[in-house]
Chains A and B, each alone.
Chain A
Protein backbone atom coordinates (compact mmCIF):
# COMPACT_ATOMS: atom_id res chain seq x y z
CA UNK A 1 0.00 0.00 0.00
CA UNK A 2 1.12 3.51 -0.70
CA UNK A 3 0.03 6.74 1.00
CA UNK A 4 0.73 10.11 -0.58
CA UNK A 5 0.73 13.09 1.80
CA UNK A 6 0.67 16.64 0.51
CA UNK A 7 2.91 18.89 2.53
CA UNK A 8 3.00 22.65 2.20
CA UNK A 9 5.50 25.04 3.61
CA UNK A 10 3.52 28.05 4.80
CA UNK A 11 4.57 31.53 5.75
CA UNK A 12 3.56 33.27 8.93
CA UNK A 13 3.70 37.05 9.26
CA UNK A 14 5.68 38.54 12.12
CA UNK A 15 3.82 40.83 14.55
CA UNK A 16 5.44 43.98 13.18
CA UNK A 17 5.22 43.00 9.49
CA UNK A 18 5.31 45.42 6.58
CA UNK A 19 4.05 44.98 3.06
CA UNK A 20 6.49 44.60 0.20
CA UNK A 21 7.19 47.43 -2.20
CA UNK A 22 4.72 46.28 -4.87
CA UNK A 23 1.98 46.01 -2.26
CA UNK A 24 1.11 42.46 -3.26
CA UNK A 25 2.67 40.51 -0.46
CA UNK A 26 4.20 40.79 2.96
CA UNK A 27 7.83 41.83 2.84
CA UNK A 28 9.97 38.69 2.79
CA UNK A 29 11.88 39.87 5.85
CA UNK A 30 8.79 39.49 8.01
CA UNK A 31 7.86 36.00 6.90
CA UNK A 32 8.69 32.89 8.83
CA UNK A 33 8.31 29.51 7.20
CA UNK A 34 7.03 26.33 8.72
CA UNK A 35 5.28 23.09 7.94
CA UNK A 36 1.55 23.81 7.62
CA UNK A 37 -0.17 22.92 10.90
CA UNK A 38 -2.84 20.78 9.21
CA UNK A 39 -0.23 18.88 7.18
CA UNK A 40 1.60 18.00 10.36
CA UNK A 41 -1.48 16.00 11.39
CA UNK A 42 -1.76 14.47 7.90
CA UNK A 43 1.88 13.34 8.06
CA UNK A 44 1.34 11.83 11.52
CA UNK A 45 -1.76 10.00 10.32
CA UNK A 46 0.08 8.53 7.32
CA UNK A 47 3.12 7.49 9.33
CA UNK A 48 1.05 5.90 12.08
CA UNK A 49 -1.03 3.97 9.55
CA UNK A 50 2.24 2.65 8.12
CA UNK A 51 3.45 1.68 11.57
CA UNK A 52 0.21 0.04 12.63
CA UNK A 53 -0.44 -1.93 9.48
CA UNK A 54 0.69 -5.57 9.51
CA UNK A 55 1.54 -5.38 5.84
CA UNK A 56 5.15 -4.35 6.20
CA UNK A 57 5.40 -2.42 3.00
CA UNK A 58 3.24 0.60 3.42
CA UNK A 59 5.17 3.39 1.80
CA UNK A 60 4.56 7.02 2.75
CA UNK A 61 5.54 9.55 0.12
CA UNK A 62 5.19 13.30 0.56
CA UNK A 63 4.70 15.84 -2.20
CA UNK A 64 5.35 19.55 -2.00
CA UNK A 65 4.95 22.25 -4.58
CA UNK A 66 7.54 24.68 -3.34
CA UNK A 67 10.93 26.34 -3.88
CA UNK A 68 14.24 24.96 -2.72
CA UNK A 69 13.79 26.70 0.63
CA UNK A 70 10.95 24.30 1.44
CA UNK A 71 13.38 21.36 1.64
CA UNK A 72 13.96 22.30 5.25
CA UNK A 73 10.29 21.76 5.94
CA UNK A 74 10.24 18.59 3.86
CA UNK A 75 13.13 17.23 5.95
CA UNK A 76 10.95 17.69 9.03
CA UNK A 77 8.33 15.44 7.47
CA UNK A 78 11.02 12.92 6.50
CA UNK A 79 12.38 13.01 10.06
CA UNK A 80 8.92 12.12 11.35
CA UNK A 81 8.81 8.99 9.26
CA UNK A 82 7.86 9.87 5.69
CA UNK A 83 9.85 7.46 3.48
CA UNK A 84 10.66 9.74 0.57
CA UNK A 85 9.65 13.11 -0.79
CA UNK A 86 8.84 14.75 -4.10
CA UNK A 87 9.29 18.46 -4.61
CA UNK A 88 7.91 20.25 -7.62
CA UNK A 89 9.20 23.61 -8.73
CA UNK A 90 10.56 25.31 -11.81
CA UNK A 91 10.87 28.70 -13.47
CA UNK A 92 7.30 28.67 -14.69
CA UNK A 93 5.86 28.06 -11.25
CA UNK A 94 8.27 30.57 -9.75
CA UNK A 95 6.95 33.29 -12.04
CA UNK A 96 3.31 32.55 -11.29
CA UNK A 97 1.98 35.02 -8.70
CA UNK A 98 -1.07 32.97 -7.91
CA UNK A 99 -1.00 29.21 -8.22
CA UNK A 100 -4.73 28.66 -8.05
CA UNK A 101 -6.55 25.60 -6.77
CA UNK A 102 -7.03 24.21 -10.26
CA UNK A 103 -3.33 24.47 -11.09
CA UNK A 104 -2.30 22.85 -7.82
CA UNK A 105 -4.77 20.03 -8.38
CA UNK A 106 -3.42 19.47 -11.92
CA UNK A 107 0.15 19.31 -10.70
CA UNK A 108 -0.66 16.98 -7.81
CA UNK A 109 -2.78 14.86 -10.17
CA UNK A 110 0.28 14.24 -12.33
CA UNK A 111 2.13 13.00 -9.24
CA UNK A 112 -0.77 10.71 -8.37
CA UNK A 113 -0.67 9.32 -11.91
CA UNK A 114 3.05 8.51 -11.43
CA UNK A 115 2.88 7.17 -7.92
CA UNK A 116 -0.52 5.44 -7.97
CA UNK A 117 -1.20 5.75 -4.22
CA UNK A 118 -4.12 3.99 -2.52
CA UNK A 119 -4.74 6.91 -0.23
CA UNK A 120 -3.95 10.61 -0.41
CA UNK A 121 -3.93 12.72 2.75
CA UNK A 122 -3.95 16.53 2.63
CA UNK A 123 -4.53 19.18 5.28
CA UNK A 124 -7.92 20.89 5.57
CA UNK A 125 -6.33 24.23 4.78
CA UNK A 126 -3.03 25.95 4.29
CA UNK A 127 -2.52 28.51 7.00
CA UNK A 128 -1.24 31.28 4.71
CA UNK A 129 -3.65 31.67 1.82
CA UNK A 130 -6.17 29.24 3.26
CA UNK A 131 -8.18 28.21 0.21
CA UNK A 132 -9.23 25.01 1.94
CA UNK A 133 -9.81 23.44 -1.42
CA UNK A 134 -6.80 21.56 -2.78
CA UNK A 135 -7.66 18.06 -1.52
CA UNK A 136 -11.21 17.92 -2.81
CA UNK A 137 -10.26 19.56 -6.11
CA UNK A 138 -7.52 16.95 -6.50
CA UNK A 139 -9.97 14.12 -5.78
CA UNK A 140 -12.29 15.34 -8.52
CA UNK A 141 -9.39 15.72 -10.94
CA UNK A 142 -8.07 12.18 -10.41
CA UNK A 143 -11.44 10.48 -9.98
CA UNK A 144 -10.82 9.38 -6.38
CA UNK A 145 -13.53 9.45 -3.74
CA UNK A 146 -12.95 11.93 -0.90
CA UNK A 147 -13.91 13.37 2.48
CA UNK A 148 -13.09 16.82 3.86
CA UNK A 149 -12.38 17.82 7.46
CA UNK A 150 -11.66 14.33 8.74
CA UNK A 151 -10.94 14.07 12.47
CA UNK A 152 -11.10 10.30 12.85
CA UNK A 153 -9.90 7.67 10.40
CA UNK A 154 -10.27 3.93 10.55
CA UNK A 155 -8.91 2.28 7.44
CA UNK A 156 -10.29 -1.07 6.32
CA UNK A 157 -8.02 -1.97 3.43
CA UNK A 158 -9.46 -5.47 2.97
CA UNK A 159 -12.95 -4.04 2.56
CA UNK A 160 -11.66 -1.08 0.56
CA UNK A 161 -13.30 1.44 2.85
CA UNK A 162 -12.15 4.32 5.03
CA UNK A 163 -14.51 4.79 7.96
CA UNK A 164 -14.15 8.47 8.82
CA UNK A 165 -15.63 11.12 11.05
CA UNK A 166 -16.06 14.51 9.47
CA UNK A 167 -16.02 17.30 12.02
CA UNK A 168 -19.04 19.50 11.34
CA UNK A 169 -19.93 22.73 13.10
CA UNK A 170 -21.17 22.90 16.67
CA UNK A 171 -19.73 19.73 18.16
CA UNK A 172 -21.35 17.35 15.68
CA UNK A 173 -19.43 14.71 13.76
CA UNK A 174 -20.67 13.00 10.63
CA UNK A 175 -19.83 9.30 10.37
CA UNK A 176 -19.10 8.39 6.78
CA UNK A 177 -17.86 5.38 4.84
CA UNK A 178 -15.63 6.39 1.96
CA UNK A 179 -14.66 4.01 -0.84
CA UNK A 180 -10.95 3.69 -1.56
CA UNK A 181 -8.90 4.95 -3.25
CA UNK A 182 -9.65 8.28 -1.64
CA UNK A 183 -8.37 11.74 -0.80
CA UNK A 184 -8.97 12.76 2.80
CA UNK A 185 -8.41 16.29 4.10
CA UNK A 186 -7.18 15.98 7.65
CA UNK A 187 -8.31 18.18 10.53
CA UNK A 188 -6.11 19.14 13.48
CA UNK A 189 -6.62 17.11 16.64
CA UNK A 190 -7.08 13.79 14.77
CA UNK A 191 -3.88 12.53 16.41
CA UNK A 192 -0.92 13.77 18.40
CA UNK A 193 1.86 14.69 15.99
CA UNK A 194 5.18 13.33 17.18
CA UNK A 195 8.35 15.27 17.57
CA UNK A 196 11.12 14.11 15.28
CA UNK A 197 13.60 11.94 17.13
CA UNK A 198 17.32 12.53 16.79
CA UNK A 199 17.54 9.25 14.92
CA UNK A 200 14.72 10.38 12.65
CA UNK A 201 16.47 13.66 11.93
CA UNK A 202 19.69 11.80 11.09
CA UNK A 203 17.88 9.34 8.84
CA UNK A 204 16.07 12.16 7.07
CA UNK A 205 19.39 13.45 5.79
CA UNK A 206 19.82 10.39 3.59
CA UNK A 207 16.24 10.17 2.36
CA UNK A 208 15.45 11.20 -1.16
CA UNK A 209 13.80 14.50 -2.10
CA UNK A 210 13.13 14.10 -5.81
CA UNK A 211 12.98 17.41 -7.66
CA UNK A 212 10.60 17.70 -10.61
CA UNK A 213 9.57 20.48 -12.92
CA UNK A 214 6.31 20.70 -14.83
CA UNK A 215 7.82 19.13 -17.95
CA UNK A 216 9.16 16.16 -15.94
CA UNK A 217 5.56 15.46 -15.01
CA UNK A 218 4.48 15.79 -18.64
CA UNK A 219 2.63 19.00 -17.86
CA UNK A 220 2.29 21.99 -20.12
CA UNK A 221 3.44 25.36 -18.76
CA UNK A 222 -0.04 26.72 -19.57
CA UNK A 223 -1.61 24.80 -16.67
CA UNK A 224 -0.43 27.46 -14.24
CA UNK A 225 -2.25 30.23 -16.12
CA UNK A 226 -5.10 31.45 -14.01
CA UNK A 227 -8.03 33.78 -14.53
CA UNK A 228 -7.45 34.85 -10.93
CA UNK A 229 -4.95 37.49 -10.02
CA UNK A 230 -4.05 39.11 -6.77
CA UNK A 231 -4.57 42.84 -7.29
CA UNK A 232 -3.95 44.26 -3.85
CA UNK A 233 -3.04 43.47 -0.28
CA UNK A 234 -3.58 45.75 2.66
CA UNK A 235 -3.99 45.75 6.38
CA UNK A 236 -7.70 45.71 7.05
CA UNK A 237 -8.98 48.96 8.44
CA UNK A 238 -9.34 48.27 12.06
CA UNK A 239 -12.92 48.20 13.17
CA UNK A 240 -11.62 48.26 16.67
CA UNK A 241 -13.25 50.56 19.14
CA UNK A 242 -11.40 48.98 22.00
CA UNK A 243 -10.32 50.89 25.05
CA UNK A 244 -6.64 50.12 25.37
CA UNK A 245 -5.30 49.74 28.89
CA UNK A 246 -1.84 51.25 28.84
CA UNK A 247 1.14 51.22 31.15
CA UNK A 248 3.29 48.51 32.60
CA UNK A 249 1.79 45.06 33.23
CA UNK A 250 0.77 45.92 36.75
CA UNK A 251 -0.98 49.13 35.64
CA UNK A 252 -2.69 47.31 32.80
CA UNK A 253 -3.84 44.60 35.19
CA UNK A 254 -5.02 47.28 37.63
CA UNK A 255 -7.29 48.89 35.04
CA UNK A 256 -8.72 45.53 34.01
CA UNK A 257 -9.28 44.62 37.66
CA UNK A 258 -11.19 47.86 38.13
CA UNK A 259 -13.37 47.06 35.13
CA UNK A 260 -14.10 43.60 36.47
CA UNK A 261 -15.00 45.05 39.86
CA UNK A 262 -17.26 47.65 38.24
CA UNK A 263 -18.98 44.87 36.39
CA UNK A 264 -19.56 43.00 39.60
CA UNK A 265 -17.46 40.02 38.52
CA UNK A 266 -15.72 40.18 41.86
CA UNK A 267 -16.82 42.14 44.90
CA UNK A 268 -15.46 45.66 45.04
Chain B
Protein backbone atom coordinates (compact mmCIF):
# COMPACT_ATOMS: atom_id res chain seq x y z
CA UNK B 1 0.00 0.00 0.00
CA UNK B 2 1.42 3.36 -1.03
CA UNK B 3 0.52 6.87 -2.03
CA UNK B 4 1.56 7.78 -5.57
CA UNK B 5 1.52 11.41 -6.70
CA UNK B 6 1.96 12.65 -10.26
CA UNK B 7 4.12 15.77 -10.71
CA UNK B 8 3.26 18.50 -13.20
CA UNK B 9 5.52 20.38 -15.57
CA UNK B 10 5.15 22.68 -18.53
CA UNK B 11 7.53 24.01 -21.13
CA UNK B 12 10.61 22.71 -19.41
CA UNK B 13 9.84 23.55 -15.80
CA UNK B 14 8.15 21.82 -12.87
CA UNK B 15 5.12 23.71 -11.64
CA UNK B 16 4.78 24.73 -7.97
CA UNK B 17 1.89 22.33 -7.46
CA UNK B 18 4.38 19.46 -7.84
CA UNK B 19 6.03 20.42 -4.56
CA UNK B 20 2.63 20.92 -2.93
CA UNK B 21 1.73 17.39 -4.02
CA UNK B 22 4.81 16.17 -2.17
CA UNK B 23 3.64 17.84 1.06
CA UNK B 24 0.08 16.58 0.70
CA UNK B 25 1.15 13.11 -0.40
CA UNK B 26 3.66 12.74 2.43
CA UNK B 27 1.06 13.92 4.94
CA UNK B 28 -1.45 11.34 3.74
CA UNK B 29 1.16 8.59 3.50
CA UNK B 30 2.21 9.28 7.10
CA UNK B 31 -1.37 9.14 8.30
CA UNK B 32 -1.81 5.83 6.49
CA UNK B 33 1.61 4.57 7.61
CA UNK B 34 2.81 3.90 4.06
CA UNK B 35 5.49 4.90 1.62
CA UNK B 36 5.18 7.86 -0.70
CA UNK B 37 6.14 7.76 -4.37
CA UNK B 38 6.25 10.50 -6.96
CA UNK B 39 5.92 9.93 -10.70
CA UNK B 40 7.12 12.35 -13.33
CA UNK B 41 6.05 11.75 -16.90
CA UNK B 42 7.60 13.33 -19.98
CA UNK B 43 10.09 16.15 -20.48
CA UNK B 44 13.57 16.12 -19.00
CA UNK B 45 12.66 13.49 -16.44
CA UNK B 46 16.12 12.97 -14.95
CA UNK B 47 16.46 16.66 -14.21
CA UNK B 48 12.90 16.82 -12.86
CA UNK B 49 13.61 13.81 -10.63
CA UNK B 50 16.55 15.64 -9.10
CA UNK B 51 14.38 18.67 -8.35
CA UNK B 52 11.57 16.53 -6.96
CA UNK B 53 13.93 14.78 -4.59
CA UNK B 54 12.72 16.66 -1.53
CA UNK B 55 12.28 15.50 2.01
CA UNK B 56 9.58 12.88 2.40
CA UNK B 57 9.73 11.23 -1.00
CA UNK B 58 10.64 7.53 -0.89
CA UNK B 59 10.87 6.70 -4.58
CA UNK B 60 10.65 8.74 -7.76
CA UNK B 61 9.49 7.00 -10.91
CA UNK B 62 10.47 8.58 -14.21
CA UNK B 63 8.57 7.83 -17.39
CA UNK B 64 10.50 9.21 -20.36
CA UNK B 65 7.66 9.57 -22.86
CA UNK B 66 7.05 12.79 -24.76
CA UNK B 67 8.01 16.37 -24.01
CA UNK B 68 4.85 18.14 -22.91
CA UNK B 69 1.74 16.95 -21.13
CA UNK B 70 -0.49 14.67 -23.20
CA UNK B 71 -3.43 13.02 -21.48
CA UNK B 72 -3.20 9.89 -23.66
CA UNK B 73 0.36 9.34 -22.44
CA UNK B 74 -0.33 10.32 -18.81
CA UNK B 75 -3.30 7.99 -18.42
CA UNK B 76 -1.35 5.08 -19.85
CA UNK B 77 1.74 5.82 -17.76
CA UNK B 78 -0.23 6.06 -14.53
CA UNK B 79 -2.24 2.95 -15.36
CA UNK B 80 1.03 1.08 -15.88
CA UNK B 81 2.53 2.37 -12.62
CA UNK B 82 -0.67 1.53 -10.77
CA UNK B 83 -0.58 -2.00 -12.16
CA UNK B 84 2.98 -2.46 -10.88
CA UNK B 85 2.76 -0.63 -7.57
CA UNK B 86 -0.90 -1.02 -6.62
CA UNK B 87 -0.98 2.31 -4.77
CA UNK B 88 -3.85 2.84 -2.34
CA UNK B 89 -4.02 6.49 -3.39
CA UNK B 90 -3.26 8.08 -6.73
CA UNK B 91 -2.88 11.81 -6.13
CA UNK B 92 -3.00 14.38 -8.92
CA UNK B 93 -3.19 18.18 -9.09
CA UNK B 94 -6.49 19.98 -9.58
CA UNK B 95 -4.79 22.13 -12.19
CA UNK B 96 -6.05 22.66 -15.73
CA UNK B 97 -4.05 19.65 -16.88
CA UNK B 98 -5.25 17.71 -13.83
CA UNK B 99 -8.81 18.41 -14.98
CA UNK B 100 -7.79 16.90 -18.33
CA UNK B 101 -6.49 13.55 -17.10
CA UNK B 102 -7.37 12.78 -13.47
CA UNK B 103 -11.01 11.79 -14.21
CA UNK B 104 -9.82 9.48 -17.00
CA UNK B 105 -7.23 7.88 -14.71
CA UNK B 106 -9.88 7.21 -12.06
CA UNK B 107 -12.37 5.95 -14.61
CA UNK B 108 -9.79 3.70 -16.25
CA UNK B 109 -8.69 2.25 -12.91
CA UNK B 110 -12.33 1.97 -11.80
CA UNK B 111 -11.61 3.89 -8.63
CA UNK B 112 -13.70 6.56 -6.96
CA UNK B 113 -12.45 10.10 -7.48
CA UNK B 114 -12.55 13.07 -5.11
CA UNK B 115 -11.42 16.31 -6.71
CA UNK B 116 -10.19 19.67 -5.46
CA UNK B 117 -9.43 18.41 -1.96
CA UNK B 118 -8.23 21.00 0.59
CA UNK B 119 -7.52 18.66 3.50
CA UNK B 120 -7.48 15.05 4.68
CA UNK B 121 -8.60 13.48 7.94
CA UNK B 122 -7.54 9.93 8.62
CA UNK B 123 -9.16 7.90 11.38
CA UNK B 124 -10.55 4.48 10.50
CA UNK B 125 -10.70 5.50 6.90
CA UNK B 126 -9.85 8.55 4.88
CA UNK B 127 -12.05 11.60 4.82
CA UNK B 128 -11.49 14.36 2.29
CA UNK B 129 -12.37 17.97 2.97
CA UNK B 130 -13.65 20.03 0.07
CA UNK B 131 -15.69 23.13 -0.56
CA UNK B 132 -19.12 23.53 -2.12
CA UNK B 133 -21.49 26.29 -3.16
CA UNK B 134 -18.80 28.66 -4.39
CA UNK B 135 -16.69 28.17 -1.25
CA UNK B 136 -19.48 29.20 1.09
CA UNK B 137 -19.41 25.86 2.89
CA UNK B 138 -16.94 23.10 3.56
CA UNK B 139 -17.86 19.45 3.43
CA UNK B 140 -16.31 16.21 4.54
CA UNK B 141 -16.53 13.20 2.25
CA UNK B 142 -15.73 9.82 3.63
CA UNK B 143 -14.08 7.47 1.19
CA UNK B 144 -15.13 3.90 1.84
CA UNK B 145 -12.65 2.26 -0.53
CA UNK B 146 -9.19 0.72 -0.25
CA UNK B 147 -8.08 2.31 -3.47
CA UNK B 148 -9.05 5.71 -4.73
CA UNK B 149 -7.93 8.77 -6.67
CA UNK B 150 -7.82 12.36 -5.49
CA UNK B 151 -6.85 15.72 -6.89
CA UNK B 152 -5.61 18.43 -4.54
CA UNK B 153 -6.33 22.11 -4.80
CA UNK B 154 -3.27 24.15 -5.80
CA UNK B 155 -1.89 26.63 -3.23
CA UNK B 156 -3.39 24.77 -0.26
CA UNK B 157 -0.33 22.86 0.92
CA UNK B 158 3.08 24.45 1.34
CA UNK B 159 5.65 23.38 -1.20
CA UNK B 160 7.96 20.65 0.11
CA UNK B 161 11.51 21.72 0.85
CA UNK B 162 14.74 20.12 1.98
CA UNK B 163 16.81 17.64 0.03
CA UNK B 164 15.55 14.10 0.11
CA UNK B 165 17.19 10.75 -0.41
CA UNK B 166 14.66 9.19 -2.72
CA UNK B 167 15.65 6.41 -5.01
CA UNK B 168 15.02 7.22 -8.69
CA UNK B 169 13.66 4.39 -10.83
CA UNK B 170 13.06 4.49 -14.55
CA UNK B 171 9.73 3.07 -15.51
CA UNK B 172 9.51 1.93 -19.11
CA UNK B 173 6.19 1.59 -20.81
CA UNK B 174 4.99 0.64 -24.23
CA UNK B 175 2.70 3.47 -25.32
CA UNK B 176 -0.27 2.34 -27.38
CA UNK B 177 -0.31 5.07 -30.04
CA UNK B 178 -3.86 4.24 -31.08
CA UNK B 179 -4.88 5.63 -27.69
CA UNK B 180 -3.08 8.94 -28.19
CA UNK B 181 -5.67 10.80 -30.22
CA UNK B 182 -4.88 14.38 -29.28
CA UNK B 183 -1.86 16.29 -30.51
CA UNK B 184 -0.54 19.45 -28.95
CA UNK B 185 0.51 21.70 -31.82
CA UNK B 186 1.72 24.68 -29.84
CA UNK B 187 1.22 27.26 -27.13
CA UNK B 188 -0.01 30.79 -27.32
CA UNK B 189 0.36 33.64 -24.85
CA UNK B 190 -2.73 35.76 -24.33
CA UNK B 191 -3.51 38.88 -22.34
CA UNK B 192 -0.67 41.06 -23.61
CA UNK B 193 -1.14 44.60 -24.81
CA UNK B 194 -0.89 48.13 -23.57
CA UNK B 195 -0.83 47.47 -19.88
CA UNK B 196 0.63 45.05 -17.37
CA UNK B 197 -1.51 45.05 -14.23
CA UNK B 198 1.19 43.14 -12.37
CA UNK B 199 3.30 46.32 -12.40
CA UNK B 200 0.71 48.35 -10.50
CA UNK B 201 1.16 49.42 -6.86
CA UNK B 202 -2.55 49.97 -6.34
CA UNK B 203 -5.25 47.94 -8.09
CA UNK B 204 -8.95 48.72 -8.04
CA UNK B 205 -10.58 45.49 -9.13
CA UNK B 206 -14.16 45.00 -10.24
CA UNK B 207 -16.28 41.84 -10.24
CA UNK B 208 -19.70 40.60 -11.27
CA UNK B 209 -21.33 42.63 -8.51
CA UNK B 210 -21.12 45.57 -10.94
CA UNK B 211 -24.04 44.02 -12.86
CA UNK B 212 -23.92 46.08 -16.06
CA UNK B 213 -21.23 47.19 -18.46
CA UNK B 214 -22.11 50.87 -18.12
CA UNK B 215 -21.52 50.68 -14.35
CA UNK B 216 -17.84 49.92 -14.86
CA UNK B 217 -17.41 53.66 -15.29
CA UNK B 218 -18.07 54.05 -11.58
CA UNK B 219 -15.04 51.92 -10.77
CA UNK B 220 -12.95 53.54 -13.48
CA UNK B 221 -13.61 56.92 -11.90
CA UNK B 222 -12.48 55.66 -8.54
CA UNK B 223 -9.33 54.18 -10.04
CA UNK B 224 -8.59 57.47 -11.83
CA UNK B 225 -9.16 59.48 -8.68
CA UNK B 226 -6.77 57.26 -6.74
CA UNK B 227 -4.24 57.13 -9.54
CA UNK B 228 -4.70 53.38 -9.39
CA UNK B 229 -4.91 50.74 -12.13
CA UNK B 230 -8.19 49.06 -13.02
CA UNK B 231 -8.35 45.25 -12.99
CA UNK B 232 -11.14 42.69 -12.74
CA UNK B 233 -12.31 39.18 -12.07
CA UNK B 234 -12.97 36.79 -14.91
CA UNK B 235 -16.70 37.29 -15.65
CA UNK B 236 -16.00 40.94 -16.54
CA UNK B 237 -13.50 39.82 -19.17
CA UNK B 238 -15.69 36.92 -20.33
CA UNK B 239 -18.46 39.44 -20.96
CA UNK B 240 -16.10 41.57 -23.01
CA UNK B 241 -16.41 44.58 -20.67
CA UNK B 242 -12.66 44.76 -20.09
CA UNK B 243 -9.80 43.28 -22.09
CA UNK B 244 -8.09 40.04 -21.08
CA UNK B 245 -4.99 41.83 -19.82
CA UNK B 246 -7.04 43.21 -16.92
CA UNK B 247 -7.98 39.79 -15.55
CA UNK B 248 -6.59 38.76 -12.17
CA UNK B 249 -6.45 35.08 -11.32
CA UNK B 250 -5.42 31.59 -12.25
CA UNK B 251 -5.99 32.07 -15.96
CA UNK B 252 -5.13 35.77 -15.91
CA UNK B 253 -2.37 37.62 -14.12
CA UNK B 254 -0.83 37.05 -10.73
CA UNK B 255 -0.54 40.42 -9.04
CA UNK B 256 1.20 41.55 -5.85
CA UNK B 257 0.32 45.22 -5.43
CA UNK B 258 0.67 47.15 -2.18
CA UNK B 259 -3.09 47.59 -2.11
CA UNK B 260 -5.78 45.54 -3.84
CA UNK B 261 -9.35 46.80 -3.61
CA UNK B 262 -11.82 44.04 -4.58
CA UNK B 263 -15.24 45.47 -5.41
CA UNK B 264 -18.14 43.06 -5.97
CA UNK B 265 -15.78 40.10 -6.20
CA UNK B 266 -16.71 36.93 -4.28
CA UNK B 267 -13.19 35.54 -3.93
CA UNK B 268 -13.42 32.29 -5.87
CA UNK B 269 -10.31 30.15 -5.51
CA UNK B 270 -9.23 30.82 -9.10
CA UNK B 271 -9.43 34.55 -8.48
CA UNK B 272 -7.63 34.37 -5.15
CA UNK B 273 -4.80 32.46 -6.82
CA UNK B 274 -3.98 35.69 -8.61
CA UNK B 275 -4.12 38.23 -5.78
CA UNK B 276 -3.51 36.57 -2.44
CA UNK B 277 0.01 37.94 -2.46
CA UNK B 278 -1.18 41.55 -2.31
CA UNK B 279 0.20 43.30 0.76
CA UNK B 280 -3.08 44.87 1.81
CA UNK B 281 -6.44 43.63 0.62
CA UNK B 282 -9.62 45.68 0.89
CA UNK B 283 -12.97 44.10 -0.01
CA UNK B 284 -16.33 45.72 -0.64
CA UNK B 285 -19.13 43.18 -0.89
CA UNK B 286 -22.76 42.93 0.21
CA UNK B 287 -22.41 39.28 1.25
CA UNK B 288 -20.82 38.92 4.71
CA UNK B 289 -20.06 35.27 3.87
CA UNK B 290 -18.19 36.06 0.67
CA UNK B 291 -14.89 34.14 0.81
CA UNK B 292 -12.98 37.29 -0.16
CA UNK B 293 -13.46 38.48 3.44
CA UNK B 294 -11.33 35.58 4.71
CA UNK B 295 -8.44 37.19 2.94
CA UNK B 296 -9.23 40.83 3.42
CA UNK B 297 -7.37 43.12 5.80
CA UNK B 298 -10.13 45.72 5.58
CA UNK B 299 -13.77 44.98 4.90
CA UNK B 300 -16.84 46.96 3.96
CA UNK B 301 -19.99 44.84 4.01
CA UNK B 302 -22.22 47.06 1.95
CA UNK B 303 -23.56 47.94 -1.47
CA UNK B 304 -20.84 49.02 -3.87
CA UNK B 305 -23.27 51.36 -5.60
CA UNK B 306 -23.55 53.34 -2.37
CA UNK B 307 -19.98 53.07 -1.14
CA UNK B 308 -17.95 53.64 -4.29
CA UNK B 309 -19.44 57.05 -5.24
CA UNK B 310 -18.96 58.18 -1.63
CA UNK B 311 -15.37 57.03 -1.73
CA UNK B 312 -14.63 58.80 -5.00
CA UNK B 313 -16.26 61.92 -3.56
CA UNK B 314 -13.92 61.83 -0.55
CA UNK B 315 -11.07 62.79 -2.85
CA UNK B 316 -13.04 65.23 -4.94
Using a CB–CB distance below 8 Å, which chain A residues touch chain B? Answer: 11-13, 15, 17, 19, 26, 98, 100-102, 105, 124, 127-137, 139-141, 145-149, 165-179, 185, 188-189, 192, 226-236, 238-245, 249-250, 252-254, 256-257, 259-260, 263, 265-266
Knowing A132-B99, A148-B100, A243-B297 are in contact, say whether A12-B307 is a contact too (CB < 8 A): no
**Is residue B114 within 8 Å, beta carbon to beta carbon, of the partner chain?**
yes
Which residues in chain B, 255-271, are within 8 Å of chain A measured between CB atoms?
258-259
B 284-310 to A, binary, CB cutoff 8 A, 1 in contact else 0: 001111000111111111110011101
Contact of A173 with B294 in the complex, beta carbons under 8 Å:
no
**Residue B254 contacts which of A98, A137, A170, A259 (CB distance < 8 angstroms)?**
A170
Contact of A242 with B299 in the complex, beta carbons under 8 Å:
yes
- Closest residue on chain B to residue A152 by CB atoms: B188
**Is residue B206 within 8 Å, beta carbon to beta carbon, of the partner chain?**
no
**Is residue B311 within 8 Å, beta carbon to beta carbon, of the partner chain?**
yes
Give, as a whole number of angstroms, the nearest-CB distance from B38 to chain A: 21
Query: Could you pull out 19 A-B pairs where Cβ atoms are within 8 angstroms?
Result: A26-B137, A102-B112, A128-B133, A139-B104, A166-B100, A167-B251, A169-B250, A171-B253, A176-B182, A176-B183, A177-B185, A189-B234, A228-B141, A234-B139, A245-B300, A249-B302, A249-B307, A252-B300, A263-B259
**Assembly CA distance A229 to B252 (angstroms):** 35
Contact of B301 with A244 in the complex, beta carbons under 8 Å:
yes
Contact of B106 with A124 in the complex, beta carbons under 8 Å:
no
Contact of B106 with A265 in the complex, beta carbons under 8 Å:
no
Give, as a whole number of angstroms, the nearest-CB distance from B19 to chain A: 15
Would you call the interface of chain A mostly helix, strand, loop, or mixed?
A: mixed
- Closest residue on chain A to residue B273 by CB atoms: A169
Contact of B96 with A235 in the complex, beta carbons under 8 Å:
no
Which residues in chain B, 137-195, are within 8 Å of chain A measured between CB atoms?
137-145, 148, 181-191
| Selected interface stretch from B23-31, B49-57, B235-243 | B235-243
Interface size on B, residues (CB 8 A): 95
Residues of A within 8 A of B80 (CB): none
**Assembly CA distance A98 to B310 (angstroms):** 47
Contact of B226 with A260 in the complex, beta carbons under 8 Å:
yes
Give, as a whole number of angstroms, the nearest-CB distance from A239 to chain B: 5
Contact of B99 with A227 in the complex, beta carbons under 8 Å:
no
Contact of A15 with B289 in the complex, beta carbons under 8 Å:
yes
**Assembly CA distance A129 to B136 (angstroms):** 11
Residues of A within 8 A of B135 (CB): 236
Residues of B within 8 A of A168 (CB): 10, 96-97, 187, 251
Contact of A166 with B96 in the complex, beta carbons under 8 Å:
yes
**Residue B188 contacts which of A165, A243, A263 (CB distance < 8 angstroms)?**
A165
Contact of B235 with A188 in the complex, beta carbons under 8 Å:
yes
**Assembly CA distance A252 to B302 (angstroms):** 9
Residues of B within 8 A of A131 (CB): 113, 115-116
**Assembly CA distance A78 to B240 (angstroms):** 25
Give, as a whole number of angstroms, the nearest-CB distance from A240 to chain B: 5
**Assembly CA distance A38 to B143 (angstroms):** 28
Residues of A within 8 A of B303 (CB): 249
Contact of B226 with A176 in the complex, beta carbons under 8 Å:
no
